[in-house]
Structure 1
Amino acid sequence: MFTRKTLLKTTSCLLLLACILLGSFPQINHAEEDLLDFAEKSGFPVKEPYRPKASIVIDADSGQILWEDQPDLSWSPASIAKVMTMYLAFEAMEQEKFNLDTTVTATEQYVAISQIYALSNNKISLGVDYPVRDLFSMVAVPSSNVATLMLANLVSDNDEADFIRKMNDKAAELGMSNTTYFNCSGAQISAFDGLYQAPGIDPNGENKSTARDLAILTYNLIKKYPDILQFTSKPVVKTMPDTPYEETFETYNYSLPGAKYGYDGVDGLKTGSSPTGAFNYIATAKKGDVRLIEVILGVGDWSDQAGEYERHLAGNAILDHAFSTYEYKKLLSKGPNTIDQKEIILEQDFYGFIKKNTEPSFTLKDGQLALKSDYGQVSPEIPVQTVSYQESEPKAVDNESVKKNTRQPSTTKNADHNYLVSSILAVFGILLLVFSRVFRKRVAGVRRGSRKTSTTTTRLLFTVGVLLILSAISVWIFL
């Protein structure tokens, strides 16, 4: 005779068998967030051949990651390398070595470099003094290689190898652990036809970085030197205005408002492309009080110049996804709060980024409260934002009150729950039996004259249906 325990074990086995049988059907795995899916919804559709090889989005204020895909993939940044050159130039100005009005005189070397067709450049005239502010615009917008070298030589007193060492030292200092520089512009030294000399540096060496490292660089650049945005925010710029050497340049950053794929809030920062790096892009955008930074690497293929535009569709879609998925708001108020059943007192209001329509979770450690996030910080060098707290004194407990307020288990509620479970199992079992019968008739209609009218599918549906009904009976009687 079966005991209650034996029947429960039998029921469990039947349910396990049903799960195994059901698991034999092919399952479709839907990623929680897929670029091609949300890009279509955002109005910036991305085709599979133009899916970035790597990408990342971070909050420009806290360094919190809001999106990432292969953020540590080693990649050639191409002309995005110029961002580090501009960083070191701003740092030199902070150290009062020169200012935006300081000029660099065009030498024969610079004129010759400006005439190398294979390099992106602008016109440079012999003997003309070019202000640093115009060199910044030439580097940021037309991605001029000669202007980049002029700026780098100003920082390093014309010691080109020393400047490259400064680039690598700064990368290490900022926590860019997977970045190596061999030149100041993104174009190999060998591409300068002997006009760019850096003793001790491999002339054929190619710069390497990652989406994460470039996000770290941009985070520090905007934090420390926000004036960089005045050189990257306009779709059209003029250099050397009101002089015989005036030039007008249209940006390659087609996500700037007013450009081909303008996205509201974008005000920088730099594009880059090369045969090995394909099409890359660093963008920053601000909406309200929120500023985001994104890095897009490896869009398309160098042989298909459509990637120059497609990178901005991908960039816009990812930015839009981050802005629409996350919100920055007050998460906790100053004063008493209960976190993980612990009573604490916050010293001030606590703000942070969380996904919309979700509840935040927190960590408490050493008197500091921090927000738990899906992806964490872009760098361990950038600490998580915290707020100080103190633990509250435990309140005296009235045992009688606790007894009165303690809810006793409800037998009726448990019984209702068991009836509901058994009913659901029975309904699904009956439906599967009906489906097996319907499919059996269809097969019979197709195979007229044949006695064999069942298939693996019909037998499977029938078996699972019976198991579910048996399970329902067991739950109803014994649980």
Structure 2
Amino acid sequence: MSNYTKVKSAYVMDAKSGQTLYENHADKQLPIASLSKMMTLYLTTQAIKHHQLNWNDKVPVDKQLIKMSKSYALGSFKIKRSNQYTVKDLYRAALIASSNSAAIALGKVVAHGDNAKFIAMMNNQAKDWGIDANFVSSSGLDNTDLKHYGYQLSGTPDKAQNMVSAKAISIVAQHLIKAYPQINQWSNKATYKLANQTLVNTNSLLKPGYYYRASNHLTGLKTGYTESAGLCLTVTYWRNGRELIATIIGGQSTFSAMNGLITHLDKTVRSKSVTESPKTYHLEGRKVTVNPAEKQTRVWYRMGQDPSKITVSNQLIVNQLPVKKGAAVTTTSFNHTGLPSTTNQNGTAATAVSKPITSNQGNTSGTNWFSRLFAGIGKAFSQIF
């Protein structure tokens, strides 16, 4: 199982803390095929959470997407007519069977019928998270396929495709499972009955797949394949009470490679529990109390490192007041682990702290202590006379 190194890119992270456990060309932008659908599902989830959509809303599907759904090469879930399926139906079809038509239809309904607007939303979300991604499609299909159905994004080259790094798409997965923790009720299904169709998941790591191993404790998440991307895979699995996210892009035998990568980490990485307490910082003359992201976190470290030397440090990422309650105030690092120290955990303000009263030094308030003294003397004399 040494072929976990013979891939274009790989990345493994702790889903809660964002700590990196493994990386191999993890920041290189590559085609990711249907792993792209995780961003589409995230934005759909957010639309539902913000009451812009309902799980039971019927979704309009245009004729071209219906045609695509019946394609031998591009269709995995057949749609007969518009408004036949609900948001929940198409969500499951996009996740489990990787339906391209379902993903595009979801994106359009989120963006009020505008495919280009939805793809802009995907790119804007990636930018907001500070991740390395360039989306041209909500499904992960290349323009070479999309152009036949009128879904090539205007202004993009004929062969354009979604270009995203393994680390970036893992972070998308992190946000997706945080926004919708119940997603594994569907993502861990090898098959799923939906209406009169059977959704088939191509993830062979799931039971009863050929590469299934009970010891992996796998819970999903998404596969992808195009000719240019090769086989791509993001999985979620559990170790030591923590959910991990692992992504492999472009392997020749990606399922075998993923098993090899998981085994490699089992042999080379350990973890320890660390307790964090609220801390107080001074900012513009005021005290800001910061709650840790987790009171009891788990820090991963490479074997050979001394776990007693592991420390957790927090650095202020704001330099001025006011701060709102719950706002991110610090960023967390895990030190002396033999692994990258950065995480995407943030300490948050325990209470709102308003902007301090402007300093009177330098007469910045218009009245310094000297002028106030004479104002008081003047007032006393006016009372005498």
- Report the TM range for the smaller structure's normalisation: 0.7 to 0.9
Q: Choose 1 or 2 for highest CA Rg.
A: 1
Partners of 1:136 and 1:231 within 8 A in 2: no
Q: Distance in 2 between matches of 1:158 and 1:101?
A: 18
Q: Which residue of 2 aligns with 1:254?
A: 204
Q: Which residue of 2 aligns with 1:383?
A: 345
Instruction: Note if 1:162 corresponds to 2:114.
Output: no
Structure with the bigger percentage of strand: 2
Once the two structures are superposed, the pairs formed by residues 352-371 of structure 1 within 5 Å of their partners are: 352-356=299-303, 358-359=306-307, 360-362=309-311, 371=334
Structure 2 letter corresponding to 1:184: S
- Residue deviations 1:239-258 (CA, integer Å, cap 9, x gap): 12xxxxx1113311111132
Instruction: Note if 1:129 corresponds to 2:101.
Output: no
Q: 2:221 aligns with which of 244, 249, 269?
A: 269
Q: Which residue of 1 aligns with 2:319?
A: none
5+ residue gaps, structure 1: 1-44, 241-245, 301-309, 335-346, 387-479
Structure 1 residues 364, 273: CA separation in 2 closer, same or farther (over 3 Å shift)?
Answer: closer
Q: Distance in 1 between matches of 2:36 and 2:341?
A: 23
- Residue deviations 1:123-145 (CA, integer Å, cap 9, x gap): 11124520111111211122111
Structure 1 residues 239, 278: CA separation in 2 closer, same or farther (over 3 Å shift)?
Answer: same
3-state SS in 2 of match to 1:138: helix
Q: Which residue of 2 aligns with 1:453?
A: none
Count of residue pairs the alignment pairs up: 315
Partners of 2:271 and 2:300 within 8 A in 1: yes
Structure with the bigger percentage of helix: 1
Shift of 1:83: 1.1
Q: Which residue of 1 aligns with 2:9?
A: 54
Partners of 1:284 and 1:291 within 8 A in 2: yes
Structure 2 letter corresponding to 1:283: V
3-state SS in 2 of match to 1:154: helix
Once the two structures are superposed, the pairs formed by residues 380-459 of structure 1 within 5 Å of their partners are: 382-383=344-345
Structure 2 letter corresponding to 1:261: Y
Q: Which residue of 2 aligns with 1:211?
A: 166
Q: Distance in 1 between matches of 2:268 and 2:232?
A: 24
Once the two structures are superposed, the pairs formed by residues 224-243 of structure 1 within 5 Å of their partners are: 224-240=179-195
Structure 1 residues 149, 356: CA separation in 2 closer, same or farther (over 3 Å shift)?
Answer: same
Structure 1 residues 377, 90: CA separation in 2 closer, same or farther (over 3 Å shift)?
Answer: farther
Structure 1 residues 371, 199: CA separation in 2 closer, same or farther (over 3 Å shift)?
Answer: closer
Q: Which residue of 1 aligns with 2:374?
A: none
Q: Which residue of 2 aligns with 1:184?
A: 138
Partners of 1:362 and 1:371 within 8 A in 2: yes
3-state SS in 1 of match to 2:85: strand
Structure 2 letter corresponding to 1:251: N
Instruction: Note if 1:295 corresponds to 2:265.
Output: no
Q: Distance in 2 between matches of 1:94 and 1:298?
A: 34
Structure 2 letter corresponding to 1:229: N
Extract structure 1 runs of 4+ deviating beyond 3 A.
Answer: 197-204, 331-334, 347-351, 355-358, 363-370, 383-386
Q: Distance in 2 between matches of 1:159 and 1:145?
A: 16
Shift of 1:181: 0.6
Partners of 2:313 and 2:334 within 8 A in 1: no
3-state SS in 1 of match to 2:345: coil
Partners of 1:121 and 1:144 within 8 A in 2: yes
Q: Distance in 2 between matches of 1:352 and 1:297?
A: 26
Q: 2:262 aligns with which of 309, 312, 319?
A: 319
Q: What TM-score, normalized to structure 1?
A: 0.60
Structure 1 residues 261, 166: CA separation in 2 closer, same or farther (over 3 Å shift)?
Answer: same
Shift of 1:290: 1.4
Shift of 1:114: 1.6
Partners of 1:84 and 1:167 within 8 A in 2: yes
Instruction: Note if 1:97 corresponds to 2:44.
Output: no
Q: Distance in 1 between matches of 2:78 and 2:314?
A: 58
Partners of 1:161 and 1:200 within 8 A in 2: no
Q: What TM-score, normalized to structure 2?
A: 0.73
Shift of 1:220: 1.4
Partners of 2:31 and 2:229 within 8 A in 1: yes
3-state SS in 1 of match to 2:233: strand
Structure 1 residues 203, 170: CA separation in 2 closer, same or farther (over 3 Å shift)?
Answer: farther
Aligned-residue Cα RMSD (Å) equals 3.0
3-state SS in 1 of match to 2:134: coil
Partners of 1:57 and 1:67 within 8 A in 2: yes
Structure 1 letter corresponding to 2:311: F
Shift of 1:328: 3.2
Structure 1 letter corresponding to 2:273: K
Q: Which residue of 2 aligns with 1:279?
A: 231
Structure 1 letter corresponding to 2:299: G
Structure 2 letter corresponding to 1:313: S
Q: Distance in 2 between matches of 1:370 and 1:194?
A: 47
Q: Which residue of 1 aligns with 2:101?
A: 146
Structure 2 letter corresponding to 1:294: A
3-state SS in 1 of match to 2:192: strand
5+ residue gaps, structure 2: 278-291, 317-329, 349-385
Partners of 1:110 and 1:146 within 8 A in 2: yes
Q: Distance in 2 between matches of 1:143 and 1:378?
A: 33
